Amino acid sequence: QKARIGVTGLAVMGRNLARNLARHGHPVAVHNRTSARTKALVEEFGGEGTFLPAETPERFVESLERPRRLVVMVKAGGPTDAVIDEFAPLLEPGDMIVDGGNANFADTRRREADLRERGIHFVGTGISGGEEGALHGPSIMPGGSAESYEALGPLLEDISAKVDGTPCCVHVGPDGAGHFVKMVHNGIEYADMQLIAESYDLLRHAAGLAPAEIAEVFRTWNTGRLESYLIEITAEVLAHTDASTGRPFVDVVLDQAEQKGTGRWTVQTALDLGVPVGGIAEAVFARSVSGHAALREAARGLPGPSRTAVADSGFADAVEKALYASKIVAYAQGFHEIQAGSAEYGWNIDLGAMATIWRGGCIIRARFLDRIRAAYEADPETPTLLTDDHFAEAVGDAQDAWREVVATAARLGVPAPGFSTALAYYDSLRADRLPAALTQGQRDFFGAHTYRRTDRDGSFHTLWGGDRTEVGA
Ligand code: NDP
């Protein structure tokens, strides 16, 4: 018997993905550099389906039906290249290598081009949802050729999460498109988490609520338009009590956030593409600030306002509105980045389909994504989600509360970089005039960089050092 698909790299993700495939009735070949992992998988979970364990790459490749579908789930970066170098010579034209790791999309583009020359399809695939997702149904974002999707799509859709019967898996676009979208997904996840963290901080330090009370607030929010996995687990974390001290869990955790790098990539890529993603950038920076222990220690005594709790009983509702509005902005920015990447690399990504496949199986799964899907259905070419009828109305309704929350945060000295940048972005987009005109004047003054005028075509320069007449450039 041959396997329909194979998985090499059997740490948490690969093991669970292989189990998911086997549980869906697909005979799966399994391989790992260290064969102890392969043995352990078959010993522990062999009863869940048909596993074909292989000790060597050669045996692994031999056990796959043709065209071969080979999923690589190893550490991203050098290890992925090492595994490709090891397996590619054993494959034949038409075979497929699926990289399900968190690869940088630029690496995926390079690998795809290399392997294409050898007749092998390289399918860079974003897989979200962590180990639980991999086992029970992740959100899957495959890139690569349309031809490879014909052979892989049905399998991947079969093991993906389903929402309303729709698989959370779709062909994203050629070469690096899948890993690009996965990267931005992670960036949006950073922004979403940061906004939730700021909401908590404000409820705690501006409204004076205790963690358990804030957990209740999040539970209530989770029954409304903010309903999402992240809001749900926020309530769980805040309600948790540390067993050894009896204190709220959130008070005994060191307040230094870590990151693996996909948020940083999202921002670096946005800078290259010239796309403003302040919400994601502030989220990455907020984690960075939190981790600078010595810097924070040195600055700890700097003066700030006294924190008198706001007495307004409607404050939690105002924070909910600020959170919803800021979230809309962060997602609008992330989708703008996908739109820009798609245009830059000719991927032709269906933005509404991305919202659709994030509705299940991944960390940012939320009711809200249905709204985004609907917005792109209504206008696939919309330059920003903010002008969609539903979102424009929601932000319009929220804006007074949003401004009040940002003002309160500033007045009380509670840092709210995510809320603030989202509001500034909103106000920048809707402004009639921006002070960029002054910036252009300064640039022309010190560097003769020239400027354009509102009333005439062409580029101009003012002779700032001379008689200040204007000349055409
Ligand atoms: P790890 O990222 O910890 O990688 C461990 C696996 O990589 C092991 O199977 C290991 O083999 C193998 N490996 C490392 N170096 C080499 C090498 N040079 N040659 C061959 N094999 C090598 O595993 P995870 O399961 O956590 O993640 C797998 C991939 O999925 C990563 O790219 C990760 O970024 C991505 N991912 C992870 C998620 C998660 O929640 N963990 C979520 C989504 C994606 P050995 O046993 O021999 O050491």
Burial pattern 141-159, b for ≥16 Cβ within 10 A else e, equals bbbbbeebbebbbebbbbb
The neighbouring-strand residues paired with 31 are 8
pLDDT reported for residue 233? 98
Looking only at the bridges linking them, the beta strands covering 451-452 and 166-167 are unpaired
As a whole number, mean pLDDT of residues 274-281 equals 98
As a whole number, mean pLDDT of residues 237-261 equals 97
Asked if this assembly's ipTM is beyond 0.95, the reply is yes
Query: Which position among 182, 198, 282, 327 bears the catalytic label?
Result: 182
Whole-structure pTM over 0.95, yes or no?
Answer: yes
Q: Which of 173, 175, 171 is nearest to 107 (CA)?
A: 175
- Whether 189 is catalytic is yes
Closest ligand 1 atom, residue 103 Cα: 32
Query: In this prediction, what percent of the chain has a pLDDT beyond 90?
Result: 97
Question: Does the beta carbon of 115 sit less than 6 angstroms from any atom of ligand 1?
Answer: no
Ligand 1 pocket, mutate which of 12, 35, 75, 105 (most atoms under 8 A from CB): 75
What is the chain's mean pLDDT, rounded?
97
> What pLDDT band is residue 354 in, cutting at 50, 70 and 90?
very high
Question: Does the beta carbon of 40 sit less than 6 angstroms from any atom of ligand 1?
Answer: no
pLDDT reported for residue 311? 75
pLDDT reported for residue 298? 98
pLDDT reported for residue 10? 98
Over residues 48-76, the pLDDT tens digits come to: 999 999 999 999 999 999 999 999 999 99
Which run of H or E residues covers position 196?
helix 177-205
Query: In this prediction, what percent of the chain has a pLDDT beyond 70?
Result: 100
As a whole number, mean pLDDT of residues 26-39 equals 98
As a whole number, mean pLDDT of residues 218-226 equals 97
Q: Which parts of 2-129 are beta strand (E)? A: 5-8, 28-31, 51-53, 69-72, 96-99, 121-128
Over residues 297-326, the pLDDT tens digits come to: 999 999 999 877 787 789 999 999 999 999
Tell me the CA–centroid distance for residue 83 and ligand 1, in Å.
11
As a whole number, mean pLDDT of residues 250-255 equals 98
| CA angle (340, 344, 346) in 5-degree steps | 110
Over residues 134-172, the pLDDT tens digits come to: 999 999 999 999 999 999 999 999 999 999 999 999 999
Nearest-CA residue for ligand 1 atom 23 is: 11
> What pLDDT band is residue 95 in, cutting at 50, 70 and 90?
very high
304 labelled as ligand-binding? no
pLDDT reported for residue 296? 98
As a whole number, mean pLDDT of residues 40-45 equals 98
As a whole number, mean pLDDT of residues 91-111 equals 98
As a whole number, mean pLDDT of residues 402-409 equals 97
Question: Does the beta carbon of 108 sit less than 6 angstroms from any atom of ligand 1?
Answer: no
